[in-house]
Amino acid sequence: MANALQLEVNGRHYTVKYPGDTPLLYVLRDELGLTGTKYGCGEGQCGACTVLLGGAPRRSCQIPVSAAAGRPITTIEGLEQNGKLHPVQQAFLDAGAFQCAYCTSGMIMSSVGLLKTNPNPSPADIVQGLQGNMCRCGTHPRIMEAVLNAAKASQEPGRS
Ligand code: FES
Ligand code: FES
């Protein structure tokens, strides 16, 4: 049965009518048109669908929309502020840390989540933090470079 649910996505409030067990990913993409969040495996294995839920990276294909109601959700579309890319987005762009880019929004969301809890991660921390995100194109060395550069940039005075 479809219930009315209140969602807060990228700072905007929405009322959606969906069965509570619908994956959050479907609602983000199909109802709200936020297609930056990708469907990869649909089984919690690839990380392509990663969003921030309450500030922490979560697989949106595995979260029932009812469990996300009333908690702040951030998707890749919500990172940019006032026309300026988030430092992690900019670092991925600068490092060319993608090829087909299907994994990229999930990688970025997991990296943002990692840097929130560990602003100065070692390469080993980054491997650990991104272990749930797969890249079939093998861009891992450039992803590593991007996350290290984003961490550095965030610590420069005047940058966030
Ligand atoms: S689509 Fe969610 S983890 Fe792969
Ligand atoms: S850039 Fe293609 S899957 Fe990662």
pLDDT for 158 equals 54
Q: Is the CB of 136 under 6 A from ligand 1?
A: no
Q: Find out if CATH 3.30.310.50 is the number for domain 2-78.
A: no
Q: What is the mean pLDDT of residues 2-30?
A: 96
How far, rounded to the nearest angstrom, does the alpha carbon of residue 60 sit from its chain's CA centroid? Answer: 9
CATH number, domain 87-155: 1.10.150.120
Contact yes or no for 6/13 (Cβ under 8 A): yes
For residue 159, pLDDT over 60 is answered with no
> What's the pLDDT at 160?
46
Q: What is the mean pLDDT of residues 19-34?
A: 98
61 alpha carbon, closest ligand: 1
In angstroms, the Cα distances linking 55 to 8, 19, 43, 45, 101 are 12, 24, 22, 20, 23
Beta carbon of 147 within 6 Å of any ligand 1 atom: no
CA of 154 to the centre of ligand 2 (A): 25
Q: Which residues contact 55 (CB under 8 A, 6 or more apart)?
A: 72, 74, 113, 116
Neighbours of 57 (CB within 10 A): 24
pTM of the model: 0.95
**Ligand 2, residues at Cβ distance < 6 Å:** 98-103, 135-137, 139
- pLDDT of 10 reads 98
The Cα 131–Cα 65 span in angstroms is: 25
Burial of 71 (0-12, 13-18, 19+ CB in 10 A): middle
Identify the nearest ligand to the CA of 38 by its number: 1
The domain locations on the chain are: 2-78, 87-155
Rounded Cα distance between 142 and 31, Å, is: 33
- Report the distance separating Cα 134 and Cα 109, nearest Å: 13
